[in-house]
Every structure is written in structure tokens, then in C-alpha cells.
Amino acid sequence: MEASSSHHKVLGKSKNTQKILFLSTNIYRGNLGLFVKTENDFDQSKFELDLIKNSFSKVNKEIEYKAYPMETLRYFDYDPVTLAAIKTDNLKVIQEKKDIRYFIQDYDLIITTHATSTLSWPLFADIPTCFINNEYNMPLKNEVKTLFENGAFIFNRSDENFFEQLTSFINQDLSEIKKQWRSKKENRVKLIHQYFSSSNTSQRKQIENIIRQRKV
């Protein structure tokens, strides 16, 4: 089987001293939305496949890929996104169901999509965070988006040259990305205090505070 033959691409600990992690937040739910979502499972999968094909595979560095840990699998088939990541030379797949909180400090750059509680972990850990804003799946509110642009890194799926811009950003030397990250500290503190503070009553409340309500 293809899945079993691909285990050699599964990571333990990378020897790469400059480490990049893509945190997938794809949760397959058929046609059911989560807060704000107009993409079905096929569309979600296709977008991440496009990310791999049109951006990540063109990056001059290794990227580790971590799928969202699903307790109950919706489909019997192996996730096509994970398979595509396994087949891509510069991508390494983490398949252990480890909580990101326990090894997030191993990375120099975190890339993720969808406005979920996952987004808070790299921000609180003060790790350069690149957020892909997807207008079809849990996008940021406009006011949060402005703060995020000033306090972290954001790329909008709707932009004409989205894939090229994202690739160019990741292709920078990580020392340069860290320098840019440090320059955004003051605005990032405001972003975290206003929208990610532990004073919020729950993770759900935090998420509702940052997601743009999209009317279909």
C-alpha cells in the first residue's frame, strides 16, 4: 500500500537547524461548517494541495508538515494532502499525534491557516508566525487583520500573486524573517492583549473575536 511504503518520510527529530513548520488546521466535516466556513472537504483539501504544489514545493528550505490530529477519521482513504506532502522532496511529515504545545519551541517559523485557537500558540511562544488568511474558511475580521499585518505576517488567499508572495517570503533567510518579527513586537503585544489574552473566557470566545462573519 502507498501509505505504508511512505513511512520513511515521517519525522522524528529533524537535523535542520533552521526549522519551519506548517500547522494544518484542516478538519474534514463533509458540508458542515465550523463557525464560518463555505468550503466543503474537497475544497479544503484542494487548497492545501495547491499550497504544496504552488508554494511549499518551490521553497529553498525544508518544511515540516503536521496534519490536524483527528480523533475520529471521517474517511477510510489516506488523506491526499498528507500523501502529497510525503511525495514532495522538501516536505517532511510529522505523523505522531503530539500536542504542538510541547515542541513548538523547536521551530523558527510557523505557518498556519484558519483563525482557530492553534494560531495563539506560536504567538504566545513569540515564534515568527505566518498566517494564511482564507476568505472561504474562517477568515480574520477586518480590524484583526489590520492588527495582524502590523504585528505578525499575513498572506491573503484572494491576492492575485498569493502563491508567489508566500514563496518569496519563506525563501528569505530566517535571520531576516526574525529581524522583521522583532520590529513588529509593539504591535504584536497589542494584538495579543486585545484578541488572544487569557482574560477571554474561553477558546471559543477567542475564536469568535477574531473570525470575520461571512454571509453566504
> How many other C-beta atoms are found inside a 10 Å radius of the C-beta of residue 54?
14
36: nearest Cα among 153, 116, 111, 155: 116
Its pTM stands at 0.79
Cα(22)–Cα(60) distance, rounded to whole angstroms? 15
Quick check: helix, strand or coil at residue 193?
A: helix
The model's confidence at residue 115, banded by pLDDT at 50, 70 and 90, is confident
Containing 156, the helix (H) or strand (E) segment is strand 153-156
More confident residue, 86 or 8: 86
**94 - beta bridge partners?**
66
pLDDT over 50 (residue 10): no
Contacts of 94 (CB under 8 A, 6+ apart): 10, 11, 64, 65, 66
More confident residue, 48 or 5: 48
Residue 136 is predicted with a pLDDT of 76
Q: Which of 10-14, 53-57, 185-189, 190-194 has the lowest mean pLDDT?
A: 10-14
More confident residue, 86 or 117: 86
How large is the average pLDDT for residues 13-23? 71
Residue 30 is predicted with a pLDDT of 64
Which fold does the domain 2-210 belong to in CATH? Rossmann fold (3.40.50)
Total residues found in the chain within this entry: 216
Question: Are the C-beta atoms of residues 127 and 105 closer than 8 Å to each other?
Answer: yes
Cα(209)–Cα(158) distance, rounded to whole angstroms? 22
Question: Are the C-beta atoms of residues 24 and 118 closer than 8 Å to each other?
Answer: no
Q: Tell me the three cell numbers of residue 143.
A: 480590524
